Structure 1
C-alpha cells in the first residue's frame, strides 16, 4: 500500500495540534509528543489507508521519532505557534501560543489524533508509552533506520493470564480434549 508523500506542513500542524490539545499537561514532553504523532500516523496508515503526514519515523532509544521532528518544533517556535523549554531535569515542556488550524485534517484523522493524544496524556508515563511502542514491530528497523508504519501490526505473543488459562481449560473439557 502506497502512502501519501511527506508533507512537512501537515507534520507541523499535527505537532502543533497535539501540543495545543495536551502539550501543557505535566509530564507531557518530547517522548509523549512523538509517540502521539507515531501512533496517529501509523494507525491511520493501517486503518485509513494512508498516514496523516507521510513523515518518516526513525527508530530511536525511546521509540519512533519523526525524522524532522526537532526541525518542525523549532520552526513552530520561530513562527510563534508554540513555546518549548526544558525543565530543571532536562525534560521538554510545551505549550501552544495560538489555536491550531484543524481544517488541515479530516474528521477521521482528527479522531485518531484526539484518541492517541488523550490516551497517551491520560494513561501513560513517558516510560510506559515507550514500553508499549518497543514491541516486536519496533525491532524491525535498526537504530536510526526508518520504521515502517505497518510495523504496528506486529506484536509479541504474551503468556495467557490465569483467567485466560481457566477459560482454555474449561473449553478443552467441554470439547472432550485431554
Structure 2
C-alpha cells in the first residue's frame, strides 16, 4: 500500500479517536496486521476498503483519492453561517439552503485561492451539491448541543442553541469568516428554491452527471458575477 493511503487511514483513525485494536476488530484482522496497513506494508482488500469507508463515514471517491477533508472545520462553517443569521427574525436556516451556502463558501474560496475551505467532496445530487458528511455533521452538532433542528411543514430548520453564539471558530481564518458573512448576507432574504436554482445553473453542477463528485476546478470557468 502506498504511503499516501497509509497516512490517510491513520489520519482518519486519529481524527475519529479510534484505537488500532478497535480498527483491527472492525476489519476482522489482527492488530499487527492493522499496524501493517498504517505502516504501508500490508495491502487492504476491497472488502476491507468498503468497511473502512463506512466506518469513517466518507464517500468511495474520497477514499479512492485519499483526500482528507477538514471535517471539524466544516462543522465550524455550519456554525459560522448560523451565527451570521442570528440577526434575522428567527435565526433559522432551512437544512437544504444551509447545504447550498456551505457549497458556495467552499467553491467560492477555491475560485479565489485555488483550494477549498473545507476540502469536502461535493456530490451532484438531485436537490443540489452536497457532501455525504453534511448530514452526519448536523447530527453530531445537534448531539453536542450546539444546534437545534426543528421541523416546519416539509422543511427542517437549523439554528444555534442558546449556548453556541459565543463559541470559538478557531479553525476558520478572518478572511474565510468574512466570505461566509458575505455569502450569508447575499442569500439571507432569498428562499431555498432561489439558491437551489442558482447552484443548479452553475457550471460545476451542470457539467457533472448525477451522483458524480463535482471537481472544484470547474468553478474557475464560472462567470465571476455568478460564483456566489
TM over 0.5: yes
Q: CA deviation at 1:117?
A: 1.3
Matched, 1:110 2:174: no
Q: Is the 8 A contact 1:12 1:76 kept in 2?
A: yes
Corresponding residue for residue 192 of structure 2: 126
Q: CA deviation at 1:22?
A: 1.7
Q: How many residues align structurally?
A: 150
Over the residues paired in the alignment, what is the CA RMSD in angstroms? Answer: 1.9
Corresponding residue for residue 106 of structure 2: 41
TM-superposition CA deviations, 1:44-90 (whole Å, max 9, x none): 01202321111111111221112210000000000000011211x22
Distance of 1:112 and 1:137 partners within structure 2: 20
Q: CA deviation at 1:104?
A: 1.6
Secondary structure at the aligned position of 2:85 is classed as helix
Q: Which runs of 5+ in 1 are unaligned?
A: 157-178
Corresponding residue for residue 91 of structure 1: 155
Q: Is the 8 A contact 1:25 1:121 kept in 2?
A: no
State TM-score, norm by structure 1. Answer: 0.76
Q: Is the 8 A contact 1:32 1:121 kept in 2?
A: no
Distance of 1:25 and 1:102 partners within structure 2: 18
Distance of 1:32 and 1:79 partners within structure 2: 22
Distance of 1:22 and 1:66 partners within structure 2: 22
Equivalent runs, 1:139-150 vs 2, <5 Å: 139-150=206-217
Corresponding residue for residue 54 of structure 1: 119
Corresponding residue for residue 69 of structure 2: 6
The runs of at least 4 consecutive aligned structure 1 residues that moved more than 4 Å come to none
Distance of 1:66 and 1:22 partners within structure 2: 22
Q: CA deviation at 1:155?
A: 4.6
Q: Which runs of 5+ in 2 are unaligned?
A: 1-66, 224-228
Q: Is the 8 A contact 2:80 2:177 kept in 1?
A: no
